[in-house]
């Protein structure tokens, strides 16, 4: 039902006609210069803390014997609203200490905190005048966001708010969860919900001082539109013109990779979730948000913690690609951080105390790939400082930075900056003499100063249809430069006397290591690049006849966190279908499929299969697992390969959906065929 606070707000609007009380003020406009100005602190920061906290911390991930829940527990465990609302009377985090939270973030080297002002369950962590479903209605009765705002101002930390567009509690939010069969949507008015959301956002933007970021989420449901996203972006910035807003305010986000599609979409930065882009993205602001274990909210059973080494290297990897790292904490119901989180924050902070300058205010690496680690950079006048993040310490004590044309000035370890390391040029590379042992077990950083802006010559590209082949494979060597390419086929590094690539593809008919390198005359100007091509034998086709088009399927219903053994379960439905489709399902969540049949392979060769799914899936060819994409996750793609002879081969694909979004795509790539979805014309059944 509507809260008395919300009714009062609507009453004021009705009587005095103040549209700005619960409605939308005038929109604002900004130039690219304005955008760069307000993004300046964010680009400097590079590292922030994400906090998912709310009523869901009370069950701590467990509900009626199942233990893999967290902030989504109300829908993943299908808890009726009136039952979930009982947590409101139990929320009493007496150990919450805003100053301690902020100090832990600051000591870890984080520059901003983004906390859930309201998650999908609709519960607000602050004193909202338009809702009774907030912290003031709990036994705690303290405005958590106000206390955090004061602590952040004291410590010089930017406070940012996550706010969910999706709201499972508000009576006007649509759609209802598909399992809420007893909760009628009759009388629900989505535009009225939008007014309510704007009223809460106005509170957040006028009662807590300057807010660094408004981090929206839950925009993917059909009730939220592109037009509403644009309007909400302008609405928020009309209160604080310098605020930064993520791209989930609108409908332009491309899946979990989080980058914004081309078009007139609102949002100041992209939001990869649990992912890091493969390469840097020049001119694009983005932030990878990531959990320390497997859940955003607190789950007492989740012991799958990322190591300190992994987290530090992820931070360096993200910074080397020009992004920010938003690392999540799921506090306990009593207001404390899990011990494992505290330990990792402390270790990261110790590393940042020494190496923070290699993260803050840095730009993306000028190198596309380095085998030993990552690079960040800062430019100052006529010099550039390259920060070499060495994950794999060279066994011979010599670190090679290949393909760089600039003159080296000096090199120092950040852990021992008083000592200059021996720096020499060898052909295309700057070579640094290092101590035999790394001074840091996770990421030892070397500061390398060079003259001018980095001039890097990337090695040539070695390209073929696949690295595994049947019969022979055509290998091409390419470069965007005008330098010549020399190569070897015996695994040795190309030198001035090595074979010159004439532009025609190399025909490889046996297992071979190809190495290639760029030369200016007889002088190497890039490092070498290598690729291994492996000759394989095809699996024989099946001798089958009287096949029909399509696949057989078995449909199941259940609540799983990973693919079950469908052979031990009784299917709800069986039948045949044209391809990998969900049409036979009878519910939107908590279901699974097993598809079986035969795949017609058009010609002998090595085939690469791609499996995209939300949640888990697996693909088998001739009874062998080729692609494993199991587990709880968003739309994620995995791949595998197999060599197959022309003809029919058995195929099986298994899939399950727990909650949230869903999807399944099966693609292939083979001789003469680019990556495409497996066509229905290639699928057969008995």
Note the pLDDT tens digit of each residue in 635-644: 889 999 999 9
Mean pLDDT of 221-239: 97
Tens of pLDDT, residues 209-220: 999 999 999 999
Contacts of 220 (CB under 8 A, 6+ apart): 251, 253, 661
Mean pLDDT of 414-440: 97
Q: Are 158 and 113 in contact (CB under 8 A)?
A: yes
Q: In what order do the strands lie in the sheet with 423-426?
A: 398-401, 429-433, 423-426
Question: How much is the average pLDDT of 88-96?
Answer: 98
Start-to-end C-alpha separation, the chain: 55
CA–CA gap between residue 590 and residue 244 (Å, rounded): 37
- What's the CA dihedral at 168, 171, 172, 174 to 10 degrees? 40
Residue 8's pLDDT band (cuts 50, 70, 90): very low
User: With 70 as the cut, is the pLDDT of residue 464 above it?
Assistant: yes
- Whether 559 and 590 have beta carbons less than 8 Å apart is answered as yes
Of all residues in the chain, the percent with pLDDT exceeding 70 is: 95
Domain 548-685 has CATH 2.60.120.1560: yes
Mean pLDDT calculated for residue range 591-600: 98
pLDDT in tens, 111-136: 999 999 999 999 999 999 999 999 99
> What are 658-679's pLDDT values in tens digits?
876 799 999 999 998 899 999 9
Q: Please give the CATH topology (third level) of the domain spanning 373-451.
A: Immunoglobulin-like (2.60.40)
What is the C-alpha to C-alpha distance for residues 65 and 60, in angstroms, rounded to an integer?
12
User: Residue 67: how many CB atoms within 10 A of its CB?
Assistant: 14
Average pLDDT over residues 6-20: 36
The pLDDT, as a whole number, for residue 225 is 97
Return the pLDDT at 29.
58
Residue 393 has pLDDT above 90, yes or no: yes
Q: Angle at Cα 452 formed by Cα 450 and Cα 457, nearest 5°?
A: 80
> Quick one: what percent of the chain has pLDDT higher than 90?
88
Predicted confidence band at 5 (pLDDT cuts at 50, 70, 90)? very low
> What CATH number matches the domain at 4-13+45-358, 1.20.1560.10, 3.60.15.10, 3.40.50.1360, 3.20.20.80?
3.20.20.80
Mean pLDDT of 35-62: 97
Taking the C-alpha atoms of residue 373 and residue 319, their distance in angstroms, rounded to an integer, is 12
Q: Which residue spans of the chain are classified as CATH 2.60.120.1560?
A: 548-685
CA-based torsion, 512, 518, 523, 525: positive or negative: negative
Where along the chain do the CATH 3.20.20.80 domains lie?
4-13+45-358
Alpha carbons 134 and 167: distance in angstroms, whole number: 13
pLDDT above 70 (res 20)? no
| CA atoms 431, 437, 440, 442: torsion sign | positive
315-331 pLDDT tens trace: 999 999 999 999 999 99
What are the tens digits of pLDDT across the range 267-319?
999 999 999 998 888 889 999 999 999 999 999 999 999 999 999 999 999 99
Is the pLDDT reported for residue 497 higher than 70? yes
Contact 516, 487 (CB under 8 A): yes
109, two tokens: 């080297």
The overall average pLDDT reported for the chain is: 94
Is the model's pLDDT at 27 over the cut of 90? no
**pLDDT surpasses 80 at 22:** no
Q: Which CATH class is domain 461-535?
A: mainly beta
Between 6 and 554, the more confident residue is 554
pLDDT value, residue 178: 84
């Amino acid at each position: 039902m509507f809260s008395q606070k919300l009714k009062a707000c609507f009453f004021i609007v009705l009587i005095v006609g103040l549209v700005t009380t619960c409605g939308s003020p005038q929109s604002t406009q900004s130039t690219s210069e304005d955008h760069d100005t307000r993004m300046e602190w964010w680009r400097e920061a590079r590292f922030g803390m994400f906090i998912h906290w709310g009523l869901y911390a009370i069950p701590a991930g467990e509900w009626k014997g199942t233990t893999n829940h967290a902030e989504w527990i109300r829908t993943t465990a299908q808890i009726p609203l009136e039952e979930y609302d009982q947590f409101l009377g139990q929320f009493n985090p007496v150990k919450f200490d805003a100053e301690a939270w902020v100090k832990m973030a600051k000591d870890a080297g984080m520059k901003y905190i983004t906390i859930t002002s309201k998650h999908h369950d609709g519960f607000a962590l602050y004193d909202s005048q338009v809702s009774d479903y907030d912290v003031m209605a709990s036994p705690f009765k303290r405005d958590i966001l106000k206390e955090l705002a004061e602590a952040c101002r004291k410590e010089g930390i930017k406070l940012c708010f996550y706010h969910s567009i999706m709201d499972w509690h508000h009576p006007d939010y649509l759609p209802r969860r598909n399992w809420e069969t007893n909760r009628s949507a009759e009388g629900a008015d989505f535009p009225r919900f939008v007014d309510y959301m704007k009223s809460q956002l106005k509170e957040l933007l006028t009662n807590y001082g300057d807010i660094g970021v408004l981090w929206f989420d839950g925009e993917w449901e059909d009730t939220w539109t592109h037009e509403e996203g644009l309007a909400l972006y302008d609405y928020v910035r009309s209160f604080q013109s310098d605020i930064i807003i993520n791209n989930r305010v609108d409908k332009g986000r491309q899946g979990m990779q989080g980058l914004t599609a081309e078009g007139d979409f609102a949002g100041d930065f992209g939001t990869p979730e649990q992912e890091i882009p493969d390469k840097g993205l020049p001119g694009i602001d983005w932030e990878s948000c990531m959990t320390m274990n497997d859940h955003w909210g607190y789950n007492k059973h989740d012991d799958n913690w990322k190591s300190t080494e992994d987290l530090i290297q992820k931070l360096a990897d993200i910074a080397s690609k020009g992004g920010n790292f938003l690392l999540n904490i799921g506090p306990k119901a009593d207001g404390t951080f899990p011990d494992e989180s505290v330990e990792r924050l402390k270790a990261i902070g110790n590393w940042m105390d020494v190496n923070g300058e290699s993260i803050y205010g840095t730009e993306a690496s000028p190198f596309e790939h380095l085998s030993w680690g990552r690079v960040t950079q800062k430019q100052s006048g006529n010099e550039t400082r390259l920060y070499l993040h060495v994950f794999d310490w060279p066994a011979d004590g010599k670190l090679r930075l290949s393909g760089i044309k600039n003159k080296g000035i000096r090199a120092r370890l950040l852990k021992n900056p008083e000592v200059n390391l021996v720096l020499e040029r060898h052909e295309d590379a700057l070579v640094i003499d290092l101590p035999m042992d790394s001074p840091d077990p996770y990421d030892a950083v070397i500061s390398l100063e060079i003259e001018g802006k980095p001039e890097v010559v990337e090695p040539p590209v070695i390209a073929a249809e696949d690295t595994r082949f049947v019969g022979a494979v055509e290998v091409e060597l390419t470069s965007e430069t005008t330098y010549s390419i020399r190569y070897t086929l015996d695994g040795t590094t190309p030198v001035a006397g090595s074979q010159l690539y004439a532009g025609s593809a190399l025909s490889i008919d046996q297992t071979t290591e190809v190495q290639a390198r760029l030369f200016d005359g007889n002088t190497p100007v890039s490092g070498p690049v290598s690729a291994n091509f492996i000759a394989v034998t095809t699996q024989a086709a099946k001798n089958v006849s009287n096949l029909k088009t399509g696949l057989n399927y078995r449909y199941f219903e259940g609540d799983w966190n990973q693919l079950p053994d469908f052979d031990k379960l009784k299917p709800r439905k069986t039948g045949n279908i044209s391809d990998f489709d969900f049409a036979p399902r009878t519910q939107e969540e908590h279901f699974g499929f097993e598809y079986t049949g035969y795949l017609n392979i058009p010609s002998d060769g090595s085939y690469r299969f791609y499996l995209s799914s939300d949640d888990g899936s697996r693909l088998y060819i001739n009874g062998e697992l080729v692609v494993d994409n199991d587990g709880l996750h968003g739309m994620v793609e995995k791949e595998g390969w197999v060599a197959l002879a022309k003809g029919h081969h058995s195929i099986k694909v298994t899939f399950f959906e727990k909650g949230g979004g869903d999807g399944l795509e099966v693609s292939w790539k083979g001789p003469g065929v680019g990556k495409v979805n497996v066509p229905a014309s290639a699928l057969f059944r008995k």
